[in-house]
Chain A
Amino acid sequence: MAGQPAIRTRALTKRYGEFTAVNNLDLEVSHGEIFGLLGPNGAGKTTTILMLLGLSEPSEGQAEVVGLDPARSPLEVKRRVGYLPDNVGFYASLTGRENLRYTARLNGLEREEGEARIEALLDQAGLSDAGDSRVDTYSRGMRQRLGIADTLVKEPDVIILDEPTVAIDPEGVAEVLTLIRSLARDRGVTLLLASHLLHQVQSVCDRVGIFVAGRMVAEGPMRELADRLAEGPVTIEVGVEGEAADIERVLGSVTGVDRMERDDRDARLWLVRADRDIREAIARALVSEGLALRQLRRSGDELDEIYRRYFQEGEAESGRSR
């Protein structure tokens, strides 16, 4: 597994006139890894993907996919990389099977081999019954699963999925994610997942990169990113029952607490601002005073918080650099 990463970019940059869509991107995804490229809409995710596939020329820098330069040998790269575009489309008047058959032929597969693969893929995507119905009768979730099956027809080494869970219902999302997870496990392919829906994709990613305004602002396993945010002042939500005066006294006695206030909406909830994570000390103090502790949570631990803070940081940074 050592050696060449499956995907590597060096100072990859794409400009459209004055606008820089992708700015000096350095990215490395190892073989067999699931990497989540997360960022808001318009961050340059799709532009990056198109450069990785050789469908768009980088203005500067280089990309390397499965050891090849997509700008120089696009055919070989496209032979080995499966791509599910954002908002994938199919020929509405053809059946799901016929759509996959076209892909198989474009990849130069022999008829029997192609048919066998298509059959297996439709089955894996849970579409064996719907395979012979026209695509315009499919739900969005079914289309998305057909799209994933479509990327697999060529038996790729790398799969790039652009917004695989957008605009489908929660059940559809679950099905798509299960499919993605089983793919990675069974086939050992490298997966690059671009999405703005952190919640949905973080559970399947080994590593994520947060991509804002053409720049990678943070990169690493999900947990690490959360820890990095935890450094510095935090807000702790304390749910506790008892006399307000008692609570205020006890909380105030804990070292590290800067200030506290009662939540407007929920009288039992106190928001404690501290210079670091002191949940343990708070719990000990409250319990030793005989107060009923109901809830203790560091706000900012939530994914949304991570996401929002990184996005804000990223935007502030790019705002400064402009």
Chain B
Amino acid sequence: MAGAASELAPTKPFPRPRRAGWRVVAAKELADHLLSVRFLVLLVLVGLAAAGSVYAAAGGIRDVAPQASETPALFLRLFTVAPEERVPSFLSMVGFLAPLLGIAFGFDAVNGERSQGTLPRLVSQPIHRDDVVNGKFAAGIIVIGMILVGLTVLVAGLGLLRLGIVPTAVEVWRLLLWLAVTVVYVSFWLGLATLCSVALRRAATSALVAIAAWLVLTLFAGLLLGLVTDAIAPVPEQPTADQIIRNARLEQQIGRLSPSILYEEATIALLNPEVRTIGFLLPQQIDRAVPGTLSLDQSLLLAWPQTVGLVALTILCFAGAYILFMRQEIRA
């Protein structure tokens, strides 16, 4: 080794990394995810829930098929219709369970490395520090995408067999767009879980916090929303129309801070072409309206703000995790 030479040039030719660091991290994380028990458990759980609801919905639609043949976008009904009182639709099933996917693949992303003692070793390799979070987030999105695509294809195939209706091209497009929005929605939860995994030292605490957020935002969101709205804009015993409208407007605005409500609104607009507006309507507004369906681009326009909102929330969560991780000391 020539000491003097090292000042000017490396003493030996160093291989430049063939691939960016985050890709190597992502490839490893992806392999870990696919071989993990949690992957299997979630696949079975979400798969059963989705298949069950679509199966039941298909049965329900078949019974009324003769009258329903004029229904627009019948195939998509498979996903949006609640077959019975007690069985939720595919849409609400996925909307409820999908966040679990994001949480499961993100809650121990960084603190897992810390508790295993692999973080100092990982960041002392010739990669940038952000490659660690970027790679992990990318791997999470890929796994989630794989699960959701697989599931949708499976469920659509099942519906096809039970129902005997071939979806039109537009319906397929709507389904694909819905899939994309769902991936974004789950990515939000992945980002939130990753943020928890950076901020909290213990994986168990981070999982708990993420699950608590999930329950609050999905199950109790409606309840909380009502309480908050009524506190700010109370509706008296004999309300005026103004008061009611004000209350409803506020409820909608506050509700749109929640990713689950944004997602719900976006999916309804995408999967149901008969939906022409999101939110509340006054009787005057629907008076003498001719029932009809929206074209794909119009539905997309309807769902656009919600989609952008979801993307923004996802970026916010990921950026939080990213910045926090960059500023953290490597040593525990």
Contacts and interface: CB of A to CB of B under 8 A. Distances in A.
B278 to A, nearest CB: 45
Contacts of B118: 89-91
Interface in B102-132: 116-129
Task: State the majority secondary structure of interface residues on B.
Answer: loop
B331 interface: yes
Contacts of B124: 53, 55, 78, 81, 83, 85
Nearest to A83: B124
Contacts of A102: 24, 28
A103 B28 CA distance: 11
Contacts of A30: 3
A157 B11 contact: yes
A79 B3 contact: no
B19 A66 contact: no
B126 to A, nearest CB: 4
Given A75-B128, A79-B126, A108-B17, A89 B116 contact: yes
B241 interface: no
B18 interface: yes
A79 B14 CA distance: 8
Given A90-B118, A188-B1, A66 B127 contact: no
Contact of A2 (B4, B6, B11, B125): B4
A221 interface: no
Interface residues of B, number: 37
Interface in B291-332: 329-331
Contacts of A56: 329-330
Nearest to B7: A67
A102 B26 CA distance: 11
Nearest to A46: B331
A67 B1 CA distance: 13
Contacts of A90: 116-118, 121
Nearest to B119: A89
Contact of A6 (B3, B16, B21, B25): B3
A75 B3 CA distance: 20
A188 B3 CA distance: 12
A91 B112 CA distance: 10
Contact of B6 (A46, A66, A81, A150): A66
Q: How large is the interface on A (under 10, 10 to 19, 20 to 34, 35 or more residues)?
A: 35 or more
Nearest to B125: A106
Contacts of A276: none
A5 interface: yes
A114 to B, nearest CB: 10
B66 interface: no
A235 B17 CA distance: 60
Contacts of A87: 117
Given A46-B331, A66-B6, A89-B118, A110 B24 contact: no
Contacts of B123: 55
Contact of B126 (A4, A31, A78): A78
Contacts of A92: 116
B279 interface: no
Contacts of B283: none
Given A56-B329, A79-B126, A92-B116, A157 B1 contact: yes
B136 to A, nearest CB: 13
A105 interface: yes
Interface string B1-41: 10110110011101111110100110110001000000000
Interface string A56-95: 1000000000110000000110111101011111111100
Contacts of A155: 12
A109 B127 CA distance: 13
Nearest to B122: A106
A44 to B, nearest CB: 12
Given A67-B6, A75-B126, A188-B1, A109 B121 contact: no
B130 to A, nearest CB: 12
Contact of B116 (A91, A154, A188): A91
A4 B4 contact: yes
A32 interface: yes
B330 A150 contact: no
Contacts of B117: 85, 87-90
B6 A157 contact: yes
Interface string A1-24: 111111000000000000000000
Interface in A23-63: 30-32, 46-47, 50, 53, 55-56
A1 B116 CA distance: 39
A107 interface: yes
Interface string A94-119: 00000000110111111000000000
A31 B1 contact: yes
A4 B24 contact: no
Contacts of B329: 56
Interface in B142-172: none
A4 B121 contact: no
Contacts of A47: 331
Interface of B: 1, 3-4, 6-7, 10-12, 14-19, 21, 24-25, 27-28, 32, 116-129, 329-331
Interface of A: 1-6, 30-32, 46-47, 50, 53, 55-56, 66-67, 75-76, 78-81, 83, 85-93, 102-103, 105-110, 147, 150, 154-155, 157, 188
25 contacts: A4-B3, A4-B4, A55-B120, A56-B329, A75-B127, A76-B10, A79-B126, A80-B10, A81-B124, A85-B117, A85-B120, A85-B124, A86-B120, A88-B117, A89-B116, A89-B117, A89-B118, A91-B32, A91-B118, A103-B125, A107-B15, A108-B17, A108-B18, A150-B121, A188-B1
Pairs of residues from A and B, 10 with the lowest C-beta to C-beta distance, nearest first = A89-B117, A108-B17, A3-B4, A85-B120, A106-B125, A79-B126, A83-B124, A67-B7, A89-B116, A89-B118
